């Protein structure tokens, strides 16, 4: 079954050709509420013809989804997003049953160590050919079911080069360094959110939302 773009979008796109998309792309794009679709119709955005019935959606969503970028309507990713994290890093995981995190005292602790040697920026980085220093980062998760779920998602994000990027440090202002890439980690065991530690009752939920925004889910 195919889904055919029947007329041009009025939201800034320039392509006037019909576009046929696969069922997985349509399934990804069509998860919108009736109110959202009605609003698109009022804005005269593009109509999709599906086996004789029409539903409204922006052509840009289709193009971006096919390019594995987030859909501009719903923010979801179709396909697998790959970042520009340096490729020579390692993610090391260990567990410490004697290290107890506030609010998770009946569990041990998952200790994650990210290790990157120094290197040279590639074409996908801000300053190709410029060197960057190595770094080591340590993060902590409770060794509970939800903590282990987040660990699995962290592994996916790291494998897809999404955990870090190269840019300017938010803390030191130093350019051309390895920095976190909007997936927050707990780098302290204590101190609460202000010190990037525990207790933080909503952290495991929030970080899963951050991961989902980058297309990292447990599906």
Q: Which residue has the higher pLDDT, 81 or 51?
A: 81
Residue 143: per-residue pLDDT: 98
Rounded mean pLDDT of 92-105? 97
- Count CB atoms within 10 A of the CB of residue 51: 8
Question: Tokens 């204590």 appear where?
Answer: 190
Please indicate, yes or no, whether residues 105 and 205 belong to a single structural domain of this protein.
yes
Q: Please give the pLDDT value at position 59.
A: 52
The answer to whether residue 152 scores a pLDDT higher than 60 is yes
Same domain assignment for residues 62 and 143: no
**Which residue in 63, 61, 150, 67 sits closest to 112, CA to CA?**
150
What's the mean pLDDT in 94-103?
A: 97
In terms of phi and psi (left: phi > 0; alpha: psi -120 to 50; beta: otherwise), the region of 88 is alpha
Is there a domain that residue 48 lies in? yes
In this prediction, residue 218 carries a pLDDT of: 86
- Give the closest residue to 203 by CA, choosing from 84, 102, 100: 102
Question: Mind listing the pLDDT tens digit for each residue in 3-13?
Answer: 444 433 334 44
pLDDT surpasses 80 at 185? yes
Residues 207, 137 within the same domain: yes
How far does the chain reach from its first CA to its final CA, in angstroms? 24
pLDDT at 43: 52
- Distance, CA of 189 to CA of 139 (rounded, Å): 8
- Neighbouring CB atoms inside 10 A of 120's CB total 12
| Count of domains forming the chain | 2
Range of the domain at 56: 3-66
pTM: 0.68
147 pLDDT more than 90: yes
How many Cβ atoms from other residues are within 10 Å of residue 34's Cβ?
8
The distance of Cα 156 from the centroid of its chain, to the nearest Å, equals: 10
In this structure, is residue 204 part of a structural domain? yes
b/e sequence 91-106, b meaning 16+ C-beta within 10 Å: beeeeeeeebbeebee
**Where residue 140 sits, what CATH number does that domain have?**
3.30.390.130
Higher pLDDT: 62 or 11? It is: 62
**What is the per-residue pLDDT for 27?**
58
pLDDT on residue 160: 95
Cα–Cα distance between 49 and 53 in angstroms, integer? 6
Residue 77: strand pairing partners = 70
- 3-class SS of residue 125: coil
Q: Give the pLDDT score at 15.
A: 44
Q: What is the DSSP code (8-state) at residue 165?
A: E
């Amino acid at each position: 079954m195919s889904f055919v773009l029947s007329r041009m979008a009025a939201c800034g796109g320039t392509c006037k050709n019909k576009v046929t998309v696969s069922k997985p792309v349509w399934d990804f794009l069509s998860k919108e509420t009736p109110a959202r679709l009605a609003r698109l119709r009022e804005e005269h955005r593009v109509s999709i013809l599906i086996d004789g019935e029409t539903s409204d959606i922006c052509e840009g969503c289709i193009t971006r989804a096919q390019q594995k970028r987030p859909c501009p309507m719903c923010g979801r990713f179709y396909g697998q997003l790959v970042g520009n994290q340096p490729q020579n890093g390692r993610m090391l995981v260990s567990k410490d049953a004697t290290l107890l995190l506030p609010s998770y005292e009946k569990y041990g602790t998952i200790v994650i160590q990210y290790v990157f040697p120094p290197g040279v920026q590639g074409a996908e980085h801000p300053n190709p050919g410029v060197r960057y220093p190595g770094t080591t980062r340590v993060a902590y998760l409770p060794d509970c079911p939800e903590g282990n779920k987040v660990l699995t998602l962290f592994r996916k994000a790291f494998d897809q080069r999404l955990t870090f990027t190269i840019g300017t440090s938010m803390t030191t202002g130093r350019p051309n360094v390895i920095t976190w890439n909007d997936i927050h980690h707990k780098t302290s065991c204590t101190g609460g959110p202000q010190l990037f530690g525990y207790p933080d009752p909503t952290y495991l939920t929030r970080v899963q939302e951050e991961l989902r925004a980058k297309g990292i889910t447990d599906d």
